Each structure stands twice: as C-alpha cells, then as structure tokens.
Structure 1
Amino acid sequence: MTGIEASRQVIELVRANEETASPGQGCSHDTIARAERELGLTFPPSYRLLIEEFGTWGAPPTEFLGVYQTERAGDVLLGSVTETLDARSEVGMPPELMVVLLDDVWLYAVLDTSQPDEDGEYPVFAWNPGVLDGGLMERIADSFGEFALKECREKLS
C-alpha cells in the first residue's frame, strides 16, 4: 500500500468516526507552502493530503500535529512547524527531521526527509535526543500515511 492510499483510508476512517475522532478544519495550499518555507523542508504526499483535509486531527489519545493556527497564537503556525523548530533549538534535533507526533514512549515521531523513496515519501522514526548517534531509535513506518493508518485503526476500530 502506498502512503497516499493509506492516507485516503485515514480520511475515511476519521470521517466515519467523527464522534470519537477529532478532525480539524483543513489547511490551505498557501498555509502549507508557508509551513514548508518556515521548516525548510517539503511535506511528503501522504502527510500533505492529511494536512489539506484536517490541518490537525486526533484519534484519542493520539493527537497528530499537522499544521494549524488558533486565534490566541495569531499568525504562528502550530503543530509540526512549532514542534520541529522548538526541537531543533531546544534539544538539537537534526534539520532533516520533522516532528509529526509527540509520544510518551518514543518522545518524538519524526519524518526523516533525508531518505525519500520513489514516491517522495519519508520514513517515520522514533527520535529521542538522549540516544547517541543522532537520536534515531527505530523505524516505525515507511511513510506517514502508513503510520497514521496504523495508529487510527488501533484507536478508532
């Protein structure tokens, strides 16, 4: 299954379970382009599709970061953008990594943008700043779509 196919299944699953899931309002192409500029990274297709659809979303207790804004934060892009930039400055996360989920077990779930596949997807890794040799701990999935689908199936099925 490709990352895009998995992301389409996530959309169906979240929409079918809106009483449990917490989908956001989606994100415009301009906001996504701005997020990529601020990060200096490009979103892979499966992540981009889900951000376009939801902006941010949850399958409780899992909360996917996505990209979103709030009235209180004003023009600041929250979610993956702020968490990635904060992790770079506060704990020395390498610039090729993008935070997509905060987790009690892994600490960070990240996309490694230095390892694109033929579809432009990046693998998902657990990353922890306390682990030697760059903090990468384990490969969680081959694409964000596959990672999100596994998490959503566990929480929403």
Structure 2
Amino acid sequence: MSYQNFEKAMSLAPKCKFYTTVGGKSQEEILRSEEMLGIKFSKQCLEFYEKFGYLSFFGTEIFGIDPEDDSGILEGNSVAYTLNDREEYNLPFNWIPVYNYEDGNMAYLDFSNKNAEGEPRIIMCMYTGKEYEIMEVIAEDFGDFLLSLVEQQLDA
C-alpha cells in the first residue's frame, strides 16, 4: 500500500498551509543526481523529483535535489547535504537525507534496506560526534513518511 500512500500524501499536501513545490526536475538533473550520489532512485523518489522537485508546507521541508547548486547551502538539497556529510562526517553511503527535525535528528532514505517494492525505509538518525546512530525506523518507505507528515499538518 506504500505507493498508494505516496499518491495520497501528494494529493493532500496542497491543502496544507504554505504549500510550496519547485516543480519537477528534468531527467538530466535526476540522472546527474543519481550519478553524483551513486544511488539509483526508487519509483516514489523518481516521481517526487519529476513532478514536485521539493516540498514545503508550514514548517515542514522535504528536501529536493539540485546537482548544479554550488552555493554551499545544504538545507533543502539532498545531493549537497549527502556529499557534504559523506566527506565531513562519514555518512553511510546508502543514506540520503530528506528531512531535518531541527533537534539534531535527520530523516534519511535508507537505500541499504528496501521493502518488497524496492522502496527504501525512512530512518531517524543522529550524528554523535563520532558516528551516526539510528534512533528509530520512521516509516516503511517515502510514501508512508510523507503521508504521516501531511496528516499531522492537516490534523493540527
């Protein structure tokens, strides 16, 4: 039911206050991001990047991809954030940051642990100063994660 949850989340998201996307990313941008990260995006991630590119609503920011951004700003760009944290903090290769909880925890797509549909689980992790520690598994996949964030906002 995960893809259904992805579709439901993205159909409900425009009802959230301050809903914003940047529009879709081109195939070239997506392929370049995959090359830079050494990761093949899953179906849900591909659709998210192709159709929406990035998502923000009322204090919630789901990172997009921008392989050409060399501004040094990491927030909002999974490519820049991943490459920086791999180099600076030895971020596990198969983890891609998608959400900052602003309390020291981050949500990551965990491409080392995929479900039967090939979708990475979402984990909450914290960098301890020496290594990354998984605090909890947040969702089975991206769709479940997005739906929970959207529903929390709509219920608030």
Q: So what's the TM-score if we normalise by structure 2?
A: 0.85
> Alignment identity in percent?
26
Q: Deviations over 1:79-99 (max 9, x none)?
A: 110111111112221111111
Report the aligned-residue RMSD.
Answer: 2.4
- Structure 2: 5+ residue stretches without partners: none
Match of 1:59 among 57, 60, 63: 57
Deviation at 1:137, TM superposition (A): 1.5
Deviation at 1:132, TM superposition (A): 7.4
Structure 2 match to 1:101: 99
Distance 2:88 2:58 in 1: 27
Query: Contact between 2:122 and 2:139, CA under 8 Å: does it hold in 1?
Result: yes
Distance 2:110 2:69 in 1: 31
Distance 2:60 2:140 in 1: 19
- Structure 1: 5+ residue stretches without partners: none
Deviation at 1:131, TM superposition (A): 7.7
Change (3 A) 1:38 1:137: same
Higher relative contact order (CA 8 A, sep 6+): 1
Deviation at 1:107, TM superposition (A): 2.2
Change (3 A) 1:100 1:71: closer
Secondary structure of the corresponding residue to residue 112 of structure 2: coil
Aligned residue identity for 1:41 = I
Deviation at 1:134, TM superposition (A): 4.4
Aligned length: 151
Change (3 A) 1:70 1:36: closer
Match of 1:46 among 44, 47, 51: 44
